[in-house]
Amino acid sequence: MQLLVPASKATDQSPTSSMLGFFKRDSLWVNFLKDFQVCSLSPTTHRAIKLITKKIQLNQVQKLIELGPGNGVITESLLSEMPTNSKIFAFERNIPLCSSLENTIKDPRLITFNSCASKVKQKLAAQIGEIDTIISCVPLSVCGDVIARQVIQTSFEMLKPQGLFIVYQCYLPPILPSKNLIDSLRNKFSIEGQERVLRNFPPLAVLTCRKVV
């Protein structure tokens, strides 16, 4: 998940300011201690962001859903390449992280919801039409099979044919990502790739899934 500052500024801080940021109310570490459904303890690295975003033809994306954006490092990278008339619908259940996202990124293309990923369909009106891409950082391997299947089913229903569902999870073999999660994804999507980013804390598994109908 994300940091307090844009990705381009992530390495500009002094060690002292970085440590102070680590303990801020809206930092990932502090929120992880309060809420174990926060997926990460530290900023997503540039390597991981590049791996995720290169899967998508962002200049052609009109509507994208981001589940669990944290406070916006990946969100900013997406917006920097998406068309001026596009939209990102971001769902962040953690209140401090959602507030940080809204305060950090002032872009009319970003629409935020302080809501969990399982309620996407309820929150988005039917008239928005089919979604081009969905990106999920929700820890589906540990949030329970019922919620995971609900998020996967909803994502499948909302995506356009050939739409992408990109899921990134903590990588802790052989436990994470869980076999149940992989099986649930395979039941709905064609999994086109499973890649790992070891130089991230924690390491990430990135699963690229396509809706084939």
The string of pLDDT tens digits covering residues 92-104 is 999 999 999 999 9
The string of pLDDT tens digits covering residues 117-163 is 989 998 997 668 899 999 999 999 888 899 999 999 999 999 999 99
According to DSSP, the residues that pair with 209 across neighbouring strands are: 165, 191
Model pLDDT, residue 127? 67
* CATH class belonging to 7-210: alpha beta
Q: What is the number of other CB atoms lying within 10 angstroms of the CB of residue 183?
A: 10
Give the closest residue to 7 by CA, choosing from 75, 63, 56: 75
What is the Cα 126 distance to its own chain's centre? Answer: 22
Question: How much is the pTM?
Answer: 0.82
